[in-house]
Amino acid sequence: MSTELTPISKGLAAFSRAGAQPFFLPLQFQVPLPNWIAVDNIPNIYHLVELKDTYHRYVLMLVTKGSWRILQVNLGAVTATMWEERPELRDRVGSEWSKVHFQRHRQERTRKFLRDAIVVLDQLMSAGGYTHLILAGPPAMTAQVRNHLPKHLQSQLTDTVTASSATRLSDVVEATLSAFIEAEEQESRTIVGNLVHQLRTGGLAVVGTGPSFRALCRGRVDVLVMSKEYDPGPGWSCDRCGSIGVESEVPDACPHCKAQEFGRFNTKERMVQKAEALDCTIEIVSQSDELSHLGGVGCLVSYHLPDEYL
């Protein structure tokens, strides 16, 4: 930490293991992580999953009269920049052309300038699999870009942020980050709404620790929805037969095989790990009374689970 940490880093995660097969993985981020330490036989990834869900990735297009830039923002950091300066019209052009001609020429150049930018934007977004776009610049310019955006890009436009050519890039990124987080929270609310709707209509959803855990174990989860504050406490597993409990205290004897030796695990971590292994969407919800009332956790599942598992 004293030698390798870069000055711009605001968060650090380090996974470390000694012994016969030592392992060390440090990760730095330009967004903060909570202070947290865990000693476990599996890596604790919940906070990284929360980070990924909160900041994820988007494309930022910064457009001013003089230039445009397209930036990829991943986990709060600019990871790639493509930019093109707009060649300024030479001053002497004005004296050679009539004023009307000059203005028409300038409008046409602006249109071409924006069209070129949007072609690059479109290619970059589809090549990188991006689904969120944020525009930044003077309102007059961002409005023009919006008008020129093809439909599929308009639907991916998350927000527009006001900035001038004098605004520092880091400030623009900071401003778009908060816009993105707001949009992400809106997305979270929509997913909770969908979960509640599925529950009320007898659809494809389960809620609560036990049903969610079992749905994850069966590998039929599309979306794991979890509130930030969700804390189910530890789960246990029987050392002899492998029976697992996530809704009760460690029993005196295993209900299945009567053995008395148990291992404990972090239920929240285990659920996130299973969801990651299934490659399903994990939605971390920062504030939702609705989700809290449902036990803080739920899953949208891909088909109805037999009743005995619920």
Q: Which residues bind Zn ion (CB under 5 A)?
A: 238, 240-241, 243, 254, 256-257, 259
* Smallest distance, Zn ion to C-beta of residue 255, A: 8
Nearer to Zn ion, 139 or 242 (CB): 242
Nearer to Zn ion, 45 or 250 (CB): 250
Q: What angle do CA 107, 108, 111 make, to 5 degrees?
A: 85
Contact predicate 173/195, CB 8 Å: no
Residue with tokens 């650090």: 12
- 171 contact partners, CB below 8 Å, separation of at least 6: 163
Nearer to Zn ion, 245 or 296 (CB): 245
Nearer to Zn ion, 148 or 264 (CB): 264
Task: Give the 3-state DSSP-derived string for 246-271, with helices as H, strands as E and coil as C.
Answer: CCCCCCCCCCCCCCCCEEEEEHHHHH
Contact predicate 184/54, CB 8 Å: yes
CA 87 to each of CA 2, 63, 70, 113, 137: distance values in angstroms, whole numbers, following the listed order: 45, 14, 17, 10, 18
Contact predicate 70/81, CB 8 Å: yes
Residues 250 and 234: their CA atoms lie apart, in Å, by 9
Nearer to Zn ion, 196 or 238 (CB): 238
Nearer to Zn ion, 125 or 246 (CB): 246
Nearer to Zn ion, 94 or 255 (CB): 255
* Smallest distance, Zn ion to C-beta of residue 248, A: 14
Contact predicate 261/239, CB 8 Å: yes
* Smallest distance, Zn ion to C-beta of residue 220, A: 25
Nearer to Zn ion, 96 or 261 (CB): 261
- At position 57, the amino acid (one-letter code) is R
2: left (phi over 0), alpha (psi -120 to 50) or beta: alpha
Q: What angle do CA 128, 132, 133 make, to 5 degrees?
A: 95
Nearest to 215 by CA among 91, 95, 305: 305
Contact predicate 183/176, CB 8 Å: no
* Smallest distance, Zn ion to C-beta of residue 211, A: 22
* Smallest distance, Zn ion to C-beta of residue 196, A: 36
* Smallest distance, Zn ion to C-beta of residue 217, A: 16
* Smallest distance, Zn ion to C-beta of residue 254, A: 3
Q: What is the H or E stretch that residue 189 is in?
A: helix 169-200
* Smallest distance, Zn ion to C-beta of residue 134, A: 53
